[in-house]
């Protein structure tokens, strides 16, 4: 089954069940690539910071593919920024916090995804 179908069925199931706390974004079946597309690429684009929203930001998201940046930060830093937002690491407040939208596992997955961008 394609990822798109998966997403559709997940959304449909959530809509039909109308279960309290049924949060599509926290659904375990969504792939890390889709999570990145859904939550991050609007600003970060392919990692270089060329997302369509990026032009409207005061702070241009840095190039996450950059090797020097990659080696200057720990996985913990990346996870913290995703979980608690830019301000938590003295970066731009325009980097949102995803603690309520993503599980710890998804944040860890996205961290590895970002690591792969730098290769």
Interaxial angle between packed helices 75-84 and 104-117, expressed in degrees from 0 to 180 and rounded to the nearest 10: 120
| Count of residues touching ligand HEC (by CB under 6 A) | 23
Per CB under 6 A, which region of 5-13, 16-24, 26-34, 74-82 contacts ligand HEC? 74-82
Per CB under 6 A, which region of 1-9, 10-18, 22-30, 91-99 contacts ligand HEC? 91-99
Q: Which is nearer to ligand HEC, 13 or 94 (CB)?
A: 94
| Residues with Cβ within 8 Å of residue 99, at least 6 apart in sequence | 83, 84
Please report whether residue 114 would count as binding ligand HEC according to CB under 6 A. yes
Within 6-25, which residues bind ligand HEC (CB under 6 A)?
A: none
Please report whether residue 99 would count as binding ligand HEC according to CB under 6 A. no
Minimum Å gap between C-beta 61 and ligand HEC is: 4
DSSP 3-state of 30: coil
Task: Return the DSSP state at 102.
Answer: S
The whole-angstrom separation of Cα 53 and Cα 32 is: 21
Max CA pair span of the chain: 47
Q: Which is nearer to ligand HEC, 30 or 110 (CB)?
A: 110
């Amino acid at each position: 089954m394609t990822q798109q179908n998966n997403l559709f069925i997940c959304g449909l199931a959530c809509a039909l069940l109308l279960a309290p706390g049924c949060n599509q974004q926290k659904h375990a079946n969504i792939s890390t690539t889709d999570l990145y597309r859904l939550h991050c690429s609007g600003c970060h684009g392919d990692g270089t910071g060329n997302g369509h929203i990026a032009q409207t930001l005061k702070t241009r998201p840095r190039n996450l593919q950059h090797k020097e940046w990659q080696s200057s930060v720990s996985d913990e830093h990346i996870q913290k920024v995703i979980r608690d937002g830019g301000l938590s690491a003295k970066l731009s407040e325009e980097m949102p916090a995803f603690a309520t939208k993503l599980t710890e596992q998804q944040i860890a997955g996205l961290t590895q995804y970002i690591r792969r961008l730098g290769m």
